[in-house]
Amino acid sequence: MAIPRVLIIRAPGTNCDFETDYAFSQAGASTRLAHINDLIDKRLTVSQFQVLVFPGGFTYGDDLGAGKIMGNEIRLKLGEDMDNFVSRGGLIMGICNGFQVMVKAGILPGGGQTVTLTGNDSGRFECRWIHLQANPKSNCVFTRGIERLYLPVANGEGKLVAGSATLDHLNIALYYCDADGHRPAGYPGNPSGSLGDIAGISDATGRIFALMPHPERHFKPHHHPRWPRGEAASPGDGYKIFANAVDWVKSL
Protein backbone atom coordinates (compact mmCIF):
# COMPACT_ATOMS: atom_id res chain seq x y z
CA MET A 1 0.00 0.00 0.00
CA ALA A 2 1.46 3.36 -1.06
CA ILE A 3 2.13 5.92 1.63
CA PRO A 4 -0.08 9.02 1.14
CA ARG A 5 1.89 12.08 0.05
CA VAL A 6 0.98 15.35 1.76
CA LEU A 7 2.15 18.80 0.66
CA ILE A 8 2.07 21.54 3.30
CA ILE A 9 2.15 24.93 1.58
CA ARG A 10 3.59 27.89 3.45
CA ALA A 11 4.19 31.56 2.77
CA PRO A 12 5.81 34.41 4.70
CA GLY A 13 4.03 34.53 8.06
CA THR A 14 2.97 30.89 8.21
CA ASN A 15 3.77 29.60 11.70
CA CYS A 16 1.99 26.25 12.13
CA ASP A 17 3.63 24.37 9.27
CA PHE A 18 5.99 22.22 11.35
CA GLU A 19 3.24 21.20 13.78
CA THR A 20 0.99 20.24 10.87
CA ASP A 21 3.84 18.35 9.22
CA TYR A 22 4.44 16.41 12.42
CA ALA A 23 0.76 15.57 12.85
CA PHE A 24 0.44 14.14 9.34
CA SER A 25 3.73 12.26 9.72
CA GLN A 26 2.54 10.65 12.93
CA ALA A 27 -0.71 9.70 11.21
CA GLY A 28 1.27 7.74 8.61
CA ALA A 29 1.79 10.15 5.72
CA SER A 30 4.88 11.13 3.78
CA THR A 31 5.07 14.91 4.10
CA ARG A 32 6.80 17.79 2.38
CA LEU A 33 6.94 21.44 3.34
CA ALA A 34 7.12 23.89 0.44
CA HIS A 35 6.99 27.63 -0.08
CA ILE A 36 4.20 28.78 -2.38
CA ASN A 37 6.87 30.15 -4.76
CA ASP A 38 8.03 26.57 -5.38
CA LEU A 39 4.62 25.95 -6.96
CA ILE A 40 4.37 29.28 -8.77
CA ASP A 41 7.85 28.80 -10.28
CA LYS A 42 7.07 25.16 -11.20
CA ARG A 43 9.87 23.68 -9.08
CA LEU A 44 7.14 21.51 -7.62
CA THR A 45 3.67 20.50 -8.81
CA VAL A 46 0.58 19.60 -6.80
CA SER A 47 0.06 16.57 -9.06
CA GLN A 48 2.82 14.80 -7.11
CA PHE A 49 0.63 14.67 -3.98
CA GLN A 50 -2.72 13.33 -2.79
CA VAL A 51 -3.30 15.87 0.00
CA LEU A 52 -2.68 19.63 0.06
CA VAL A 53 -2.66 21.58 3.32
CA PHE A 54 -2.74 25.29 4.08
CA PRO A 55 -1.64 25.59 7.72
CA GLY A 56 -2.24 28.33 10.25
CA GLY A 57 -0.38 31.56 10.80
CA PHE A 58 -0.55 35.10 9.45
CA THR A 59 0.48 34.89 5.79
CA TYR A 60 1.95 38.16 4.54
CA GLY A 61 1.10 39.64 7.93
CA ASP A 62 -2.63 39.59 7.06
CA ASP A 63 -1.91 43.15 5.94
CA LEU A 64 -4.82 43.35 3.47
CA GLY A 65 -7.05 41.07 5.52
CA ALA A 66 -6.51 37.56 6.80
CA GLY A 67 -5.44 35.22 3.98
CA LYS A 68 -6.20 37.77 1.27
CA ILE A 69 -2.78 38.00 -0.40
CA MET A 70 -2.08 34.28 -0.45
CA GLY A 71 -5.65 33.63 -1.58
CA ASN A 72 -5.12 35.95 -4.53
CA GLU A 73 -1.81 34.27 -5.37
CA ILE A 74 -3.51 30.90 -5.51
CA ARG A 75 -6.50 32.15 -7.49
CA LEU A 76 -4.48 34.09 -10.06
CA LYS A 77 -1.31 32.01 -10.37
CA LEU A 78 -2.31 28.48 -9.34
CA GLY A 79 -6.02 28.37 -10.07
CA GLU A 80 -5.79 25.87 -12.91
CA ASP A 81 -3.46 23.61 -10.92
CA MET A 82 -5.88 23.63 -7.98
CA ASP A 83 -8.87 22.92 -10.22
CA ASN A 84 -7.05 19.95 -11.76
CA PHE A 85 -6.04 18.66 -8.35
CA VAL A 86 -9.64 18.74 -7.15
CA SER A 87 -10.94 17.20 -10.39
CA ARG A 88 -8.69 14.16 -10.02
CA GLY A 89 -9.93 13.51 -6.49
CA GLY A 90 -7.33 15.10 -4.21
CA LEU A 91 -7.92 16.20 -0.63
CA ILE A 92 -7.38 19.79 0.53
CA MET A 93 -7.35 20.99 4.12
CA GLY A 94 -7.03 24.48 5.59
CA ILE A 95 -6.46 25.35 9.24
CA CYS A 96 -7.23 28.82 10.64
CA ASN A 97 -5.31 31.13 8.28
CA GLY A 98 -5.49 28.26 5.79
CA PHE A 99 -9.30 28.47 6.02
CA GLN A 100 -9.10 32.20 5.37
CA VAL A 101 -6.81 31.58 2.39
CA MET A 102 -9.12 28.94 0.92
CA VAL A 103 -12.30 31.03 1.06
CA LYS A 104 -10.52 34.06 -0.40
CA ALA A 105 -9.08 31.93 -3.18
CA GLY A 106 -12.57 30.61 -3.95
CA ILE A 107 -11.59 27.02 -3.14
CA LEU A 108 -14.28 26.81 -0.46
CA PRO A 109 -17.17 26.40 -0.60
CA GLY A 110 -16.47 26.34 -4.34
CA GLY A 111 -17.48 28.38 -7.37
CA GLY A 112 -15.79 31.62 -6.33
CA GLN A 113 -15.82 33.51 -3.05
CA THR A 114 -19.31 33.25 -1.58
CA VAL A 115 -18.36 33.32 2.11
CA THR A 116 -15.74 35.22 4.07
CA LEU A 117 -14.07 35.22 7.45
CA THR A 118 -14.05 38.60 9.13
CA GLY A 119 -13.26 40.24 12.47
CA ASN A 120 -14.43 38.57 15.66
CA ASP A 121 -17.48 40.09 17.34
CA SER A 122 -15.40 40.56 20.49
CA GLY A 123 -13.11 42.93 18.61
CA ARG A 124 -10.09 41.08 19.90
CA PHE A 125 -7.75 38.21 19.16
CA GLU A 126 -9.38 35.06 20.60
CA CYS A 127 -6.98 32.49 22.02
CA ARG A 128 -8.86 29.87 24.01
CA TRP A 129 -9.94 26.22 24.06
CA ILE A 130 -13.39 25.48 22.67
CA HIS A 131 -15.79 22.56 22.22
CA LEU A 132 -16.85 21.36 18.79
CA GLN A 133 -19.61 19.13 17.51
CA ALA A 134 -19.28 17.29 14.19
CA ASN A 135 -22.24 17.40 11.83
CA PRO A 136 -23.40 13.78 11.37
CA LYS A 137 -25.11 14.75 8.11
CA SER A 138 -21.88 15.95 6.49
CA ASN A 139 -19.97 13.72 4.07
CA CYS A 140 -16.68 15.38 5.02
CA VAL A 141 -13.79 12.90 4.75
CA PHE A 142 -11.84 14.57 7.55
CA THR A 143 -14.58 14.38 10.21
CA ARG A 144 -15.72 10.79 9.67
CA GLY A 145 -16.41 8.96 12.91
CA ILE A 146 -16.02 12.12 14.99
CA GLU A 147 -18.72 13.28 17.38
CA ARG A 148 -17.03 15.87 19.60
CA LEU A 149 -13.68 17.67 19.70
CA TYR A 150 -11.87 19.89 22.18
CA LEU A 151 -9.41 22.15 20.35
CA PRO A 152 -7.80 25.58 20.71
CA VAL A 153 -8.55 28.62 18.55
CA ALA A 154 -6.19 31.53 17.91
CA ASN A 155 -7.48 34.16 15.52
CA GLY A 156 -8.66 37.72 15.15
CA GLU A 157 -10.77 37.18 12.01
CA GLY A 158 -12.64 33.92 12.54
CA LYS A 159 -16.25 34.95 12.04
CA LEU A 160 -17.79 33.16 9.06
CA VAL A 161 -20.22 35.41 7.21
CA ALA A 162 -22.38 34.66 4.17
CA GLY A 163 -25.77 35.47 2.72
CA SER A 164 -28.73 33.41 3.90
CA ALA A 165 -29.03 31.59 0.58
CA THR A 166 -25.38 30.51 0.77
CA LEU A 167 -25.64 29.52 4.44
CA ASP A 168 -28.62 27.29 3.67
CA HIS A 169 -26.55 25.26 1.20
CA LEU A 170 -23.21 25.05 3.02
CA ASN A 171 -21.79 21.63 3.80
CA ILE A 172 -21.14 22.37 7.47
CA ALA A 173 -18.69 19.89 8.98
CA LEU A 174 -18.11 21.35 12.46
CA TYR A 175 -20.09 23.54 14.84
CA TYR A 176 -19.05 25.40 17.97
CA CYS A 177 -20.97 24.12 20.99
CA ASP A 178 -20.90 24.42 24.76
CA ALA A 179 -19.24 21.95 27.11
CA ASP A 180 -22.37 19.76 27.08
CA GLY A 181 -22.59 19.69 23.30
CA HIS A 182 -25.51 22.13 23.10
CA ARG A 183 -26.09 24.91 20.61
CA PRO A 184 -26.27 27.84 20.20
CA ALA A 185 -22.90 28.05 21.84
CA GLY A 186 -22.91 31.75 22.73
CA TYR A 187 -19.74 33.60 23.64
CA PRO A 188 -17.08 32.41 24.42
CA GLY A 189 -18.18 28.96 23.19
CA ASN A 190 -18.47 30.50 19.75
CA PRO A 191 -15.41 32.74 20.13
CA SER A 192 -15.80 34.70 16.89
CA GLY A 193 -19.58 35.09 16.60
CA SER A 194 -19.51 32.92 13.49
CA LEU A 195 -22.97 32.69 11.92
CA GLY A 196 -24.78 29.47 12.75
CA ASP A 197 -21.96 28.48 15.13
CA ILE A 198 -20.01 27.35 12.04
CA ALA A 199 -16.44 26.30 12.83
CA GLY A 200 -15.60 24.24 9.74
CA ILE A 201 -17.02 23.61 6.27
CA SER A 202 -16.51 21.22 3.40
CA ASP A 203 -17.27 21.32 -0.29
CA ALA A 204 -20.04 19.20 -1.80
CA THR A 205 -17.71 16.23 -2.38
CA GLY A 206 -16.53 16.12 1.25
CA ARG A 207 -12.89 16.18 0.11
CA ILE A 208 -12.16 19.88 0.56
CA PHE A 209 -12.28 20.95 4.20
CA ALA A 210 -11.26 23.84 6.40
CA LEU A 211 -11.71 24.77 10.04
CA MET A 212 -10.79 27.68 12.28
CA PRO A 213 -9.67 25.67 15.37
CA HIS A 214 -6.24 24.02 15.43
CA PRO A 215 -6.28 20.18 15.45
CA GLU A 216 -2.47 20.07 15.22
CA ARG A 217 -2.33 21.74 18.63
CA HIS A 218 -4.21 18.92 20.33
CA PHE A 219 -2.51 15.92 18.84
CA LYS A 220 -0.80 14.48 21.91
CA PRO A 221 -2.42 13.96 25.34
CA HIS A 222 -0.09 16.45 26.98
CA HIS A 223 -1.34 19.17 24.62
CA HIS A 224 -4.58 19.18 26.63
CA PRO A 225 -4.53 22.09 29.11
CA ARG A 226 -5.64 19.81 31.96
CA TRP A 227 -3.71 16.67 31.15
CA PRO A 228 -2.00 16.58 34.60
CA ARG A 229 -5.51 16.18 36.08
CA GLY A 230 -6.12 13.08 33.98
CA GLU A 231 -8.62 14.72 31.61
CA ALA A 232 -6.67 14.02 28.41
CA ALA A 233 -7.30 11.11 26.08
CA SER A 234 -4.66 9.40 23.96
CA PRO A 235 -4.28 10.32 21.18
CA GLY A 236 -5.42 13.94 21.39
CA ASP A 237 -8.70 14.95 19.80
CA GLY A 238 -7.08 16.42 16.69
CA TYR A 239 -5.41 13.15 15.68
CA LYS A 240 -8.53 11.67 14.08
CA ILE A 241 -8.78 14.50 11.53
CA PHE A 242 -5.31 13.75 10.17
CA ALA A 243 -5.77 9.99 10.39
CA ASN A 244 -9.03 10.20 8.44
CA ALA A 245 -7.27 11.91 5.55
CA VAL A 246 -4.44 9.38 5.51
CA ASP A 247 -6.82 6.41 5.75
CA TRP A 248 -9.01 7.75 2.96
CA VAL A 249 -6.05 8.01 0.57
CA LYS A 250 -4.86 4.53 1.54
CA SER A 251 -8.31 3.12 0.74
CA LEU A 252 -8.20 4.27 -2.87
* pLDDT at residue 111, as a whole number: 79
How many domains in the chain?
Answer: 1
CA distance 199 to 220: 22
* pLDDT at residue 195, as a whole number: 98
* pLDDT at residue 252, as a whole number: 87
* Cα four-point dihedral sign 126, 131, 136, 140: positive
**Would you tell me how many other CB atoms lie within 10 Å of the CB of residue 93?**
29
CATH assignment at residue 187: 3.40.50.880
Determine the 3-state secondary structure of 61 from DSSP.
Answer: helix
Q: Which residues pair with 14 in a beta bridge?
A: 57
Active site residues: 96, 214, 216
**CB 23, CB 71: distance < 8 Å:** no
pLDDT in tens for each of the 252 residues of the chain?
Answer: 689 999 999 999 999 999 999 999 999 999 999 999 999 999 999 999 999 999 999 999 999 999 999 999 999 999 999 999 999 999 999 999 999 999 999 999 987 889 999 999 999 999 999 999 999 999 999 999 999 999 999 999 999 999 999 999 999 999 999 999 999 999 999 999 999 999 999 999 999 999 999 999 999 999 999 999 999 999 999 999 999 999 999 998
* pLDDT at residue 87, as a whole number: 95
Q: Which amino acid type is present at position 105?
A: A
* pLDDT at residue 1, as a whole number: 60
pTM (two decimals) = 0.96
What is the domain range of residue 172? 5-250
